[in-house]
Structure 1
Amino acid sequence: MYSYVARQAILTADEKIHGYELLFRNSFENTFPDICPDQATSNILTNSHLTRGLESLTGNKLTYLNFTEETLLNNFPTSLDPKHVVIEILETVTVSHELLDTCRALKKQGYRLALDDHDFDPKWDIFLPYIDVIKVDVRQFNILQISKYIRRIQGGGVQLIAEKVETREEFEKLKTLGFELFQGYFFSKPEVIQSKQLSLNKLNLIDLIDQASKENLDLEAISKIVEKDVSLSFKLLRFINSVGSGSSQKIGSLKHALAYMGETELKKFICLLALAGLNAGKTEELCILSLIRAKFCEKLARDREDSENPPVAFLTGMFSLVDAILDEPMAQVATKLPLLDDIQSALIHQNGYLGDYLRLALSYEHGKWEETDSLAERLSISVDNIHTYYSEALEWANTLEATGQL
């Protein structure tokens, strides 16, 4: 499956790239699909940010993203790096004290806020101390109306973006009015970017939502749900790795990841996934094989009687094929995740004992029996046990698939 996002350049007065606005699409057709804005924002965050990374879509330029009332009040912006994103408050958002408190808190955390398609309504004046950018659709107002509003807010330190600029004559005239940034078909139409999408299983997501709705979170139960789904695991770690989540710790197990997030961030993550309304598609063979490897590596670690290794080994196997799933080099994908150095080294270079587990899985899958015997001897694991472990891992993954848990 693929995800789609359109990006449109925002330029400076000297026509250099200042940043990009990202717009949700559901195909290469460059029109906004018939879905609610909440869903559109959530899809960009889950399918673009948590999978590929917004920075790869914008070339590390500023990213402008639309946020609705619900996504703002649920603090979805805080999963993003405040240094690289501008939070656009949609014109359809209802003005409220709760929204004002949210904007004040986001501003305090270092986020830049923008009023999108601003209509000059005085009801927004109370928000202006927290607003960095105002976007004006120049097709909706005449020059006199725009000039009058600009004079009213002059001196407030707010940047003005002219949207839907279609001619050079408009561009030059708007510069004289005080606009510093410009967006429109005169410069560039939105270009659609296609990315591989990690599909979530709907039943797993429902189970996750059910767990999140309980008064006391059961990390053990949530961990068991997440460990069955490569997509959930990957997006969980991407969420943790975002600067907005404040992560600075390397992760060695899913339970560790869940505990590190804390209840508030974990519920936010689940809410984000639920709101995205992701449809479950047929599980790809690569995802099934990832689960087989995860369980196989876990069993190898248990055989060696190291209590710290099974969860670490499970994660190593789980993400061993994520490069093939996303069509990106492993070195590029693995560094997006807050994984222990040993896991990253195993995934990228097949180094260390975790690398040996992966090589053993590969040699067994490919029927390279001499290499399997050699690695078994190196790890002090009997060949008979290896056959048993792989059969059990295969049976575990097949059971998950047969019962609709994948």
Structure 2
Amino acid sequence: MYSYIARQPILNIKQETVAYELLFRDGKSNTFPSINPDQATSKIIVDNQLRLGLEEVTGNLPAYINFHAEALIHRFPSFLDPKKIVVEILEDVAITDELLAVCKSLKQKGYTLALDDYIFDPQWDVFLPYIDILKVDVLELSMLDISRSLSRLKDYKFTLLAEKIETKKVFEQLKLLGFTLFQGYFFAKPEMLRKKNILSSKKHIMDLMEHANRPEFDFDAISEVFSKDVVLTYKLLRFINSPGYGPSKEICSLKHALIYIGDLELKKFIALLVLADLAEGKPDQIIRVSLIRAKFCEKIASIKKIDQNPPTAFLTGMLSHIDGVLDQSITEVMNILPVHKEIKTALIERNNYLAIYLALSLALEQGKWQQAKRIANKIKLMDEEYLNAYQESIHWSDAMLAIT
């Protein structure tokens, strides 16, 4: 399955592209679907930022993203680097004290805020001290109306962005009125992009939502849910690598990851997943293989007590096939995940104890029995130990997939 997104360029006076507005699409038709706008925003974040990063879509230019009321109140912009996005506030959202408080908070954190489809409605005046960009809908207003309205706001220091420009004449007129950014069909229509989508199990997301609604978090139980779903684990690690946490922490295990971000941020992450409704389809063979490898590496680490780190081994196995999920090289993926250096060494360089566990799993997976025996001999494993561990890992994986 694929996710779709459209991007429309935003240009300066020299007609150079300086940013893109990202627009959600749910199919090949280059039109906005009939879905809740908060859901559309969540899907843009989940399908793009939590995949490999918005910069892949924008070519490292800033991304303008629409945020409706619920997405703002849930603080979804805080998942994203304030240097890479512009938070567009839709003018048709309900004006509340809570929304104003969110805007103040985002502004203090360094986010650039824009009022989208702005038509100079005075009820938005209370927000203007926190707004950096006014996106004026030039189809809704005459040039005279725009000029008069701007004179009323002359004491504010805005960047003026004119949207829905359709002719060169309008473009030239708006430049004279002080507009410095421009967007519209005169320059370019939204360009459709297609990406391979990453699907998680609906059952697992619903389980997480249930845990999130409990008075106290059970990190062990929540870790168990993540341990069944490689896609959710990947998204969790991408979430941890978002700008809200400062320098990346090297994660050694799922429970470590969950405790590191804390229950409040974890609830935010779960809310994002639920609202985005990731949920279509069941895990394919790649997911099954990832689960088998994860459980097998964990079991071997438990047998080899000298290593004392089964959870790290589990995470190594689970991420070992993430390149197949994302259609990206394992090196590219590891560069954007805050996992422990031992895990990265195992998956990229393949030359530490975790890599040996993984190599043994791959040999068994491919039916290379002699190679498996040689690897097992190196780490002094008996045939019965690793064969039983692999069989048990298959049963565990199948059991996990059966309940999704």
TM-score (norm 2): 0.97
Q: What letter matches 2:367 in structure 1?
A: G
Structure 2 distance, partners of 1:401, 1:140, is 53
Partner of 1:40: 40
Partner of 2:87: 87
Q: Per the alignment, in what secondary structure is the counterpart of residue 192 of structure 1?
A: strand
- For the 8 Å contact 2:240–2:248, the answer to whether it is kept is no
Please state how far the C-alpha of 1:206 moved relative to its aligned partner. Answer: 1.0
Structure 2 distance, partners of 1:167, 1:125, is 30
> 50-59 vs 345-354, which deviates more?
345-354
Residue 255 and residue 113 in structure 1: after superposition, are their counterparts in 2 closer, same or farther (change >3 A)?
same
1:294 aligns with 2:294: yes
What whole-Å deviation, never above 9, does each CA across 1:268-314 have from its counterpart, x for those lacking one? 00011111122230221101110000001111111111464211111
1:265 aligns with 2:271: no
Q: What letter matches 2:192 in structure 1?
A: V
Structure 1 distance, partners of 2:319, 2:164, is 43
What whole-Å deviation, never above 9, does each CA across 1:238-290 have from its counterpart, x for those lacking one? 11101134353110111000000011110000011111122230221101110
Mapping 1:253-402, distance limit 5 Å: 253-306=253-306, 308-402=308-402
Structure 2 distance, partners of 1:298, 1:33, is 44
Please state how far the C-alpha of 1:155 moved relative to its aligned partner. Answer: 4.0
Structure 2 distance, partners of 1:297, 1:67, is 42
**Count of matched residue pairs:** 404
Structure 2 distance, partners of 1:347, 1:307, is 18
Partner of 1:200: 200
Q: Per the alignment, in what secondary structure is the counterpart of residue 8 of structure 1?
A: strand
Partner of 1:49: 49
Structure 1 distance, partners of 2:350, 2:155, is 58
Q: Per the alignment, in what secondary structure is the counterpart of residue 116 of structure 1?
A: strand
Structure 2 distance, partners of 1:351, 1:4, is 38
Structure 1 distance, partners of 2:165, 2:151, is 21
Mark the runs of 5 or more structure 2 residues left unpaired by the alignment: none
Partner of 1:107: 107
Mark the runs of 5 or more structure 1 residues left unpaired by the alignment: none
What whole-Å deviation, never above 9, does each CA across 1:48-105 have from its counterpart, x for those lacking one? 1111211111111101111011111111111111111111001221111111111111
Partner of 1:135: 135
Q: Per the alignment, in what secondary structure is the counterpart of residue 161 of structure 1?
A: strand
Q: What letter matches 1:6 in structure 2?
A: A
Please state how far the C-alpha of 1:330 moved relative to its aligned partner. Answer: 1.1
Structure 1 distance, partners of 2:359, 2:122, is 65
- For the 8 Å contact 2:9–2:17, the answer to whether it is kept is yes
1:171 aligns with 2:195: no
- For the 8 Å contact 1:290–1:318, the answer to whether it is kept is yes
Mapping 1:13-92, distance limit 5 Å: 13-92=13-92
When the two chains are superposed, the root-mean-square deviation of aligned CA atoms in Å is 1.2
Which of structure 1's runs of 4+ aligned residues deviate more than 6 A?
none
TM-score (norm 1): 0.97
Please state how far the C-alpha of 1:233 moved relative to its aligned partner. Answer: 0.5
> 99-108 vs 374-383, which deviates more?
374-383
Partner of 2:227: 227
Q: Percent identity?
A: 49
Q: What letter matches 1:134 in structure 2?
A: L
Structure 2 distance, partners of 1:188, 1:52, is 26
Q: What letter matches 2:73 in structure 1?
A: L
